[in-house]
Chain A
Amino acid sequence: MHETGVAMEIYRASLQAAEAHGPGHLERVRVAVGELSAVDPELLAYAWEAVVAGTPDEGCPLEVEWHRARQSCAACGQDKERSEGSWLPVCPDCGEFLTVEGGRELDLLQLSYLPDKPGGAHV
């Protein structure tokens, strides 16, 4: 349930990044969310709607790029499927610990920003 706090942080960081381009409004915000980040993309989208409601950026969509974790077993020497929602880093076949890569992303990637003055924003 800390999606609201995360959405507020995304908004704050977006405004900070947009600031250099002068006044305007956000048209689209793109984030990366990993499956091990403890953030639910659907809840995040709801929270985002609420956070931007009543601001000049109301209605700006939040696009979520979903990242799965990759895991491999050194003992079996191959990649292992991660069952949805499982955080257990243990090989289902041999019981060895798995190497887990990625899946913890929680990153602000890109904004689409429309400055009030067309062409007036040069960094």
Chain B
Amino acid sequence: MCDDPSHAHVHAHGPFRNLGHEHGPLQVQVERRVLESNDLEAQHLREDFAEDGTLVVNLISSPGSGKTTLLEATVAELKGKLSVGVIEGDVATERDADRIRALGVPAFQVVTGGACHLDARQVNKALRKGKFPDLDVLFIENVGNLVCPTSYDLGEDFKVALLSVTEGDDKPFKYPGIFSAAQVTLITKTDLMAHVSFDLEAVKGQIKTLRPGGEVLMASAQTGTGVDAWCGLLAARLAAKRAQEP
């Protein structure tokens, strides 16, 4: 959100101007972004991740689209090749982090207790508490929600929107915020494609409109189809990030 040129006028954090009268209420000019503290925290995280050479991926989708199952398949594929860690966000339970840890991969569960998204402060806290080793790739699995997580920068390199074929082929236009913000859309549960009505070309067309140049990948965590291409994308992005380092 902060790359919007219309925000240029509010970037000053400067001192407040007192326009008030001696005895009445003070009129205090503030002019700052409401989510400024999150954005600043995200910027610190981004700098730390750049220094560490860690690729950070923010996974966003509706609940039940297969984020954790895809992560299980992904960490299995990457095991022995890359050092991987996972931060899980859920309203309740340690269930997802348990599933990842069962595969021998470090994971930290953020339990939001009701909040519909993760914010940068929670990620920072998770990193401190999670005691992760040096990581090549950090996955942040956001709370299942196609709306709210979009507004919160977590210091990630890019957002990935997951869309399972069972959710229907009209979702990008119905939830344009996330499908505009995600560099990559990953169509999941493609093994079920034959059983549901899902117009792949329509989805690709919607994404092309919302995010020209956005990548669309397809995968089935059940059969493993497409997981290698997804992991290939991650490896390429990691290599590109490290090539940028001074």
Q: Give residues in A with beta carbon < 8 Å to B.
A: 1-2, 5-6, 9-10, 12-14, 17-18, 20-21, 27-28, 31, 34, 36-39, 87-90, 97, 101-115, 118-119, 121-123
Task: Let me know if B32 and A107 touch, CB within 8 A.
Answer: yes
Which residues in A have their C-beta under 8 angstroms from that of B217? none
Task: Let me know if B210 and A87 touch, CB within 8 A.
Answer: yes
B188 vs chain A, min Cβ distance (A): 23
CB of B30 within 8 Å of the partner chain: yes
The complex places the Cα of A112 from the Cα of B212 at a distance, in Å, of 43
Choice from A2, A28, A115 contacting B151 with Cβ under 8 Å: A2
Task: Let me know if B148 and A2 touch, CB within 8 A.
Answer: yes
26 contacts between A and B (CB under 8 A): A1-B147, A17-B16, A17-B30, A21-B18, A21-B26, A21-B28, A27-B25, A28-B25, A31-B34, A38-B148, A38-B177, A87-B176, A88-B173, A89-B210, A90-B209, A102-B6, A107-B32, A108-B31, A108-B34, A109-B31, A111-B26, A112-B28, A113-B25, A113-B26, A114-B26, A123-B18
Q: What would 20 more interface pairs be, CB under 8 Å, given A104-B1, A108-B32? A: A1-B116, A2-B151, A9-B34, A10-B34, A13-B34, A13-B37, A17-B28, A31-B34, A38-B150, A101-B5, A102-B6, A106-B35, A107-B10, A108-B31, A108-B34, A110-B27, A111-B27, A112-B25, A123-B15, A123-B18
The complex places the Cα of A112 from the Cα of B27 at a distance, in Å, of 5
CB of B4 within 8 Å of the partner chain: yes
Interface residue tally of chain B, by bracket? 35 or more
Chain B residue with Cβ nearest A104 = B4
Which residues in B have their C-beta under 8 angstroms from that of A12? 37
The complex places the Cα of A121 from the Cα of B31 at a distance, in Å, of 20
Chain A, interface SS category? mixed
User: Which chain B residues numbered 138 to 162 have a C-beta less than 8 Å away from chain A?
Assistant: 147-148, 150-151
CB of B180 within 8 Å of the partner chain: yes
